[in-house]
Amino acid sequence: MKKRVGCICLVAVLTLFGGCATTTHLNEEAREKSSKQVEGQENTTTVMSGHYQTLAQSLDAYLKERAFNGVALVASEGEMVLLQPYGMANVKNQEAMSVDHQFHIASVSKSFVAVSILQLVEEGKLSLDQTIESYFPDMPHADQITIHQLLTHTSGLYSGDDLTDYSREVSVMDVIAPAFKASNLYYEEPGTQSIYSNLGYDVLGAIVEQVSGQTYSDYLEEHIFQPAGMTDSGLNVSGEKIEHLATAYNGNIANGDEAKVLHPSFGYSSGGLHSTAMDLYKYDRALRENTLISGESYRLMTQAYSTIGTSAYGYGWFVNAGVENTVSHTGNLIGWHSMFLRHQEDKVTVILLTNHDESDMYMAYNFARLVLAEKETS
């Protein structure tokens, strides 16, 4: 009975604070243990922790109460607290959601760009303070814009585009064409102010292609997805059918109001990736274990360099937004919302993926606070 009361109380706390969130390295033994934990959970359809049973039940109840449609994953120090699918992957076909369904993750893609750049820095092929005119000699202000500025949204490049048909495949040069306009900056000089720029991250993707000699999609597959064990993620620039992709909805999902289908190529490196909750958790583990980049590179990636709105920003992550000592990023696209939050000491990871764009992703901050509070009292 006490567990049931605790569950109800936690749901009440979540409901009270749900809309109020501010938007503002392992040794070899530990690495092996963590990898085995991920492998053991790979084919699990659902997880509700016995160790955190009351908390897991509360999170599950809250998500059901809010009619969340998607997949939620909450973990702490390599232990899964909750992994659950909710609602429908396809309303017309009455296809229930599963943890194997894939989602477009939009701007959660940005940390993958940052990791790619830092890998090339580690290889001595790039430096963070170099300007980009050697890659784009015809781009206005390229002799002033640095890699660091592109990563921190301080380059001044605006995010507008000239695309009019988002249903067709576009090339990388189509995506980054606005960067070649004479008036390509929001403000007079790069490095003086912050403005969130998808275009800046798309330019970074194009730089990865030039430096590596691979398409960005192939680079991700070889240097991030395979090392991390991510088998259900990709950058689908050709627009091929993705076998387990959920259907996106906006408006009334019960009525099957499908969202407009956008060709994935237009999202490119700034927001074009698709993934699953479990794949993103493998990425989380790979970052924790320094499988992809060194501890020093990870430290560089997660420092606060600039301010976007009211929140600090590093390289591909918001820093301490909503919850202290965390990095996080939301993704927003027509019909798709996502959130990825990770604690710097591995105390909590929250991944929320939805195919209904009216869902509140900032509840992840409250989930994280509850896990942290549970750990303090246990």
| Three-state helix/strand/coil letters over the chain | CHHHHHHHHHHHHHHHHCCCCCCCCCCHHHHHHHHHHHHHHCCCCCEECCCCHHHHHHHHHHHHHCCCCEEEEEEECCEEEEEEEECEEECCCCEECCCCCEEECHHHHHHHHHHHHHHHHHCCCCCCCCECCCCCCCCCCCCCCEHHHHHCCCCCECCCCCCCCCCCCCCHHHHHHHHHCCCCECCCCCCCCCCCCHHHHHHHHHHHHHHHCCCHHHHHHHHHHHHHCCCCCEECCCCCCCCCECCCECCCHHHCCECCCCCHHHCHHHHCEEECHHHHHHHHHHHHCCCCCCHHHHHHHCCCCEEECCEEECCCCEECCCCCCEEEEEEEECCEEEEEEEECCCCCEEEEEECECCCCCCHHHHHHHHHHHHHHHC
Which pLDDT score, from 0 to 100, does residue 48 have?
80
Given a contact cutoff of 8 angstroms between Cβ atoms, the answer to whether 323 and 368 are in contact is: yes
Alpha-carbon gap, residue 299 to 293, rounded angstroms: 10
Walk along the chain (378 residues) in steps of 10 and give the mean pLDDT of each run. 42 42 34 42 65 93 95 96 97 96 97 98 98 98 98 91 73 94 92 95 98 98 98 93 94 91 89 97 98 98 96 98 97 95 98 92 96 88
Given a contact cutoff of 8 angstroms between Cβ atoms, the answer to whether 335 and 260 are in contact is: yes
Structure tokens at 365: 């901050």
Which pLDDT score, from 0 to 100, does residue 31 have?
37
Long-range contacts of 7-13 (CB under 8 A, 24+ apart): 7/54, 7/57, 7/58, 7/61, 10/54, 10/55, 10/58, 10/59, 10/62, 10/370, 11/58, 11/61, 11/62, 11/65, 13/366, 13/370
Which pLDDT score, from 0 to 100, does residue 12 have?
44
Alpha-carbon gap, residue 26 to 5, rounded angstroms: 38
Alpha-carbon gap, residue 270 to 252, rounded angstroms: 28
Which pLDDT score, from 0 to 100, does residue 164 have?
62
Which pLDDT score, from 0 to 100, does residue 15 have?
44
Alpha-carbon gap, residue 94 to 220, rounded angstroms: 34
> ∠ at Cα 27 (56, 368), nearest 5°?
25
